Structure 1
């Protein structure tokens, strides 16, 4: 089962349901995306004005479809920071197979596609000879092949600096969308396609209650993201305090967890190392810390100064 993950800010929560059975997922034209180089990896732009004008005429014909961005993981910290309201928002897990079937049932499957974004820093080589033939010969078949290359490159390539997003895009037939106003395009996604919802670790009580209500309505799982102490990857806590991790594309319950902080454990210990710290451990830590002894007779500042001088001299000699 493949799942798509949509990060959203807390301000969207109250507007998410467009009716009793559907949530609204926003779609946009590529020209409105936040990447200033959205079309840049299609061709090498160091070419004649005539070729550029020809290319520009074609790209206007193939980038008119709206698209939306999902990701393949709900535990990417930069995504929570950038798109999840600095972890105060939420994530919706959507089953891709159910979504694809729904789009097909609506009759829009021919003009809709779902695919991974490829990350690279230069255009593909295959498009160049096709562009040359299309420009110089002008036969419709060459233009058709070129437009296929351009569409794939424009919609599904980004610079490697964006690779942390693990992006997967849905490109849809515009007729499938509803337009509440001149600047907003929404695709009604049935809540039956939702398999889980996750609130960020900074989410407030109001958002948690709203998303819990959505989970109940959609009959899906509800999780709260937790920043753990043993890894840099967050874990997810269910409403019944069962810890989960995102493993191999799935949210799975862990076998062992700390009884105090719910941190996932790799052993059958009852507590994680942090929760297991006793006052005796704290006292012994202070005894083992030789800086405390040096500080007790007032020599810590001089010691640090002298050690820094030795370190600086050693670093200078290495150069």
Structure 2
């Protein structure tokens, strides 16, 4: 299955050139509700001291997860007008489609949450009930490099629950542990390089050859200004990523939606 990443034109170009994709730490996300479903509240009305210390303990766990975790956010849909407006510079960027079955995304040995378990769960209300599962093994806070199926419920609470207002994104995540990456970029999750983006680190993971399957140009790029611009875009994409299909976006005549147009066909 192909999953998609919405990007500015400049960021998309770097991915095509370097054949790598970036993982971000949750503490840098624009959504302040990240990890807010992670730990159910424990109410001790008759013991305020306990409640204070419990709250500090949970805060510390959340911050450890946020600092030591890298998340790649993908989506199932390459033609979502809202996504193009929000993440692709008002339709001036591009969308890149990646084979989600690659080992870097799907392996249970190197991913805290592999892509096949990474569908985001959207709810109107924050889940506050105690966890139903009772794992026998422990889950190291901020230090779990491999997937532990018996802890799936906890991992979903940590990284996959989001408010319903985000449901239009149809998000699928790959979650990797980044513990120790400040000292060594070669960790159990993979080999990364670091890029500074407006004062925050973005950890770039190298993709295997042929992982990028599709590229879409936004309808407000210069691709559609002339046949020459179109040919140049196709040549640029296939030059960096041979065998990749190249599409453009156009407005549907019959609905409020986008449709794709093949640019790599005569």
TM-score of the pair, normalised by structure 2: 0.72
> What are structure 2's unaligned runs of at least 5 residues?
44-50, 143-150, 179-186, 224-228
Whole-angstrom CA distance in 1 between matches of 2:104 and 2:139: 29
Is 1:179 the counterpart of 2:194 in the alignment? Answer: yes
**CA shift in 2, pair 1:44/1:214, >3 Å:** same
CA deviation after TM superposition for structure 1 residue 231, in Å: 1.3
Q: Is the 8 A contact 1:196 1:221 kept in 2?
A: yes
2:158 aligned with 1:154: yes
Q: How far did residue 199 of structure 1 move?
A: 0.6
Q: Distance in 2 between matches of 1:28 and 1:211?
A: 29
Contact 2:230–2:263 (8 Å) recurs in 1: no
2:237 aligns with one of 207, 214, 238:
214
Change (3 A) 1:102 1:27: closer
| Residue pairs, 1:94-113, within 5 angstroms | 94-97=98-101, 99=102, 101-102=103-104, 109=110, 111=112, 113=114
Match of 2:27 in 1: 31
Matched, 1:238 2:262: yes
The alpha-carbon distance between structure 1 residues 215 and 108, as it changes in their structure 2 partners (threshold 3 A), is farther
Tell me the alpha carbon deviations over residues 60-116 of structure 1, each in whole angstroms, 9 at most, x when there is no partner.
34442101110110111110001111111110111111x2x25578x9535452211
- What is the root-mean-square deviation in Å for CA atoms of aligned residues? 3.3
Q: What is the aligned partner in structure 2 of residue 41 from structure 1?
A: 37
TM-score normalised by length of structure 1:
0.61
Larger Cα-atom Rg = 1
Identify the structure with bigger relative contact order (alpha carbons < 8 Å, sequence gap 6+): 2
Aligned to 2:10: 11
CA offsets, 1:284-305, max 9 Å, x none?
Answer: xxxxxxxxxxxxxxxxxxxxxx
Question: 1: CA distance between counterparts of 2:253 and 2:57?
Answer: 55
Distance in 1, matches of 2:264 and 2:141, equals 54
Residue 206 of structure 2 aligns to a residue whose secondary structure is strand
Aligned counterparts, 1:1-319, within 5 A: 2-17=1-16, 19=18, 23-45=19-41, 47=43, 48-63=51-66, 64-97=68-101, 99=102, 101-102=103-104, 109=110, 111=112, 113-114=114-115, 115-127=118-130, 144=139, 148=151, 149-174=153-178, 175=187, 176=190, 177-180=192-195, 183-205=201-223, 209-210=232-233, 212-216=235-239, 217-239=241-263
Q: 1:118 to 1:34 in 2, by over 3 A?
A: same
| Bigger proportion of residues as helix | 1
The structure-2 alpha-carbon separation of the partners of 1:207 and 1:24, relative to structure 1 and needing over 3 Å to count, comes to farther
* 2:210 partner SS: helix
Does the residue aligned with 2:27 lie in a helix, a strand or coil? Answer: helix
Per-residue deviation, 1:145: 10
Aligned length: 227
